[in-house]
Amino acid sequence: MLMKRFIEKLQITKINQLRLCPLPIPLIPIEDGRILVFAPHADDEVLGCGGTLALLQKKKCAIKVVFITNSAGAGSLSEDAPLVRRQEAKEALSVLGIDDINFLDEPDGSFRNSAHIQNEIYSLLQQFNPDWIFLPSVLDYHRDHVAISHTILSCWQSWTGAGRAFFYEIWCPLPATLVVDVSSVIDLKKLAISKYILPLSHCDYFSASIGLAKYRGLYLLKQQKPSYAEAFVEAEKKDSWKSLQQTMLNLRFYLESFLRN
């Protein structure tokens, strides 16, 4: 009982020391940088960081987008879905001024880490030498996103380059630490999303993504009317159970028992 009271008192002290309402820090797009984007499926890149990519393109950055799976819909879509979504991806990224695209064609819905895919990712890091890397979150509710994120993180942590890595959000909102004001390019993000006709016919990703960007706009210190933003968490280079990404992954494991259909 004494130990319980001590721990509770310690927690209350820590709560009282919290700042009133800390907001995510503005992430300012770099100029003339090299940007590497990993997307589990065709549309994740636009939904998760399309506005930020539009801003980076305007800053004359070289942007490469890598689609990990074949986007077949885990067997729920027609046989020609991979080809359709590949074409839609090209059209969507063309809206953002991006034409450097790789398709790795791993199985959708059953992605597994392997020496082959690790070599592919590590080679991309070595050859492209990015300043910034965008990848899905280990906290995401989609299993492919979690597995792919963890695989990329492992490669990034062993890579000797100095590039920073940022998680974007799709199926699970992030405990955001960084925010990018995308108000000036929100129409480009909307147009890029609209190119994904096949996935939009199954789910209203458009309203969800733009609604999330509108909500994230609340984090902007100097809000325009209307304001839109994309939120991120920066990964830590250290490979440790104390890292933020490991904490997020542990939370995802814990949540699994509650996320039953």
pLDDT given for residue 55 in this prediction? 98
pLDDT single digits (tens) 47-63: 999 999 999 999 999 99
109 or 192, which is more confident: 192
Average pLDDT over residues 3-12: 82
Average pLDDT over residues 8-13: 88
Tell me the one-letter amino acid at 48.
G
pLDDT single digits (tens) 119-150: 999 999 999 999 999 999 999 999 999 999 99
Q: What SS3 class is residue 88?
A: helix
pLDDT given for residue 141 in this prediction? 96
Give residue 191's pLDDT band: very low, low, confident or very high (50, 70, 90).
very high
Helices (DSSP H) in 59-204: which residue ranges?
81-95, 115-128, 143-158, 186-194, 197-200
Give the contacts of 102 (CB within 8 A, at least 6 positions apart): 64, 65, 66, 67, 124
Going from the C-alpha of 219 to that of each of 18, 49, 67, 168, the distances in angstroms are 18, 16, 30, 16
Q: What SS3 class is residue 210?
A: helix
pLDDT given for residue 73 in this prediction? 75
Going from the C-alpha of 153 to that of each of 9, 14, 88, the distances in angstroms are 37, 31, 27
Tell me the one-letter amino acid at 8.
E
Average pLDDT over residues 95-118: 95
Residues 108/74, Cβ–Cβ less than 8 Å: yes
pTM across the whole model: 0.94
Kindly list the structural domains of the chain, giving each domain's residue range(s) and its CATH number in brackets, ordered by start. 24-256 (3.40.50.10320)
**205 pLDDT exceeds 70?**
yes
Residue with tokens 């309402």: 21
Tokens, residue 247: 């904490």
Average pLDDT over residues 7-27: 90
Dihedral angle at the C-alpha atoms of 203, 178, 153, 170, nearest 10 degrees? -10
pLDDT single digits (tens) 214-260: 999 999 977 668 899 999 999 998 767 778 999 999 999 999 999 87
Tell me the one-letter amino acid at 216.
R
